[in-house]
Structure 1
């Protein structure tokens, strides 16, 4: 299956799972909201054009906003992680090693520790920005920190579970098959 077709299927699956499954889980006192949809952006190929990455992040976030009726909230968070993603990958992986022979980031291609760091940093950034944009009213700062920590924790746990339960078959970039 081609990379484009895989990513189109992932786009639809992540969107549908978030909208019809995870968004229907009653939040714990409006505190913990599980988000998994942005994993689509984390799984995009290493060598994707930066403009294309930002455009995909915007369209994916906008699609999520259309379903949840939150104008621009998810799009802003997706653009943020799409923008920061290449910098985080460059910090966590060395171009001299075998990691850049793989097509996309995963625990197999990066190793568990760098992949977990990559996922945790981008999850924390995504949720901090989303909760900050939601919060944009004067409230208690402890509520803000608590919601960011709880939502990041549950989302990071779900990302690691998805990575363990549904391992992706990794291809080398140099393969022609």
Structure 2
């Protein structure tokens, strides 16, 4: 399966899971908002430029906003993590890992610890920005921090469960044209 087709399926899959499953969870929805959808952005190939990442993330966020009825709520955090993704990867990985060795980030290709840092940092950033945009003010700071931490922890748990369920092989770049 081509990389483009695989990412189109992921795009649709993550939007459907977020909109029709995770956003419908009634017991914790008001206080904890589990998000798995932005994993699509985290799984995009290394070869994409920052501008391409941001455009794809914006379109992905717009699709989430359209189906969720929340204009701009998901678009901004998706673009933010797409902007920060290359920076985080460059900070936690040697340069040759991202440019030469592997096609996309996963635990097997970049290592479990760097991948965990990558996921945790971008998940927390996503939830801080998402929660702040929802409120557009801090209000009760402890509730804000609690909601960010609880949503981030649940999302991180969902991400690692998804990693286990949908095992992705570490694909090496080749010089073959």
In the superposition, the TM-score normalised over structure 2's length comes to 0.94
Which residue of structure 1 aligns with residue 118 of structure 2? Answer: 118
Q: Within the alignment, does 1:51 sit opposite 2:51 as a pair?
A: yes
Partner of 2:4: 4
CA distance in 1, matches of 2:65, 2:6: 23
Contact 1:54/1:79 (CA < 8 Å) preserved in 2?
yes
CA 157–100 in structure 1, closer or farther in 2 if over 3 Å, else same? farther
> What CA distance in whole angstroms lies between the structure 1 residues aligned with 2:38 and 2:30?
20
Contact 2:54/2:82 (<8 A) preserved = yes
| 1:60 paired residue number | 60
Distance of aligned partners of 1:100 and 1:147 in 2 relative to their CA distance in 1, 3 Å threshold: farther
Offset, 1:95: 2.0
Partner of 1:134: 134
For residues 47-68 of structure 1, give each alpha carbon's deviation from its aligned partner in whole angstroms, at most 9, with x where no partner exists.
2011111100000000000011
Q: Tell me how far apart the structure 2 counterparts of residues 10 and 97 of structure 1 sit (CA, whole Å).
A: 24
Residue 36 (structure 2) pairs with residue 31 (structure 1): no
Task: Give aligned pairs, total.
Answer: 177
Q: Larger deviation: 131-140 or 108-117?
A: 131-140
Q: Which runs of 5+ in 1 are unaligned?
A: none
1:34 is paired with a residue whose SS is coil
Q: Does the 8 A contact of 2:46 with 2:99 survive in 1?
A: no
CA pair 69-112 structure 1, distance change in 2 beyond 3 A: same
Aligned residues of 1:99 and 1:110 also touching (Cα < 8 A): no
- Measure, in 2, the Cα distance between the counterparts of 1:88 and 1:98: 11
Measured at CA, do residues 175 and 2 of structure 1 come closer, stay the same or move farther in structure 2, by a change above 3 Å?
Answer: farther
Q: How does 1:134-153 map to 2 (within 5 A)?
A: 134-137=134-137, 139-153=139-153
With the length of structure 1 as denominator, give the TM-score of the two structures.
0.94
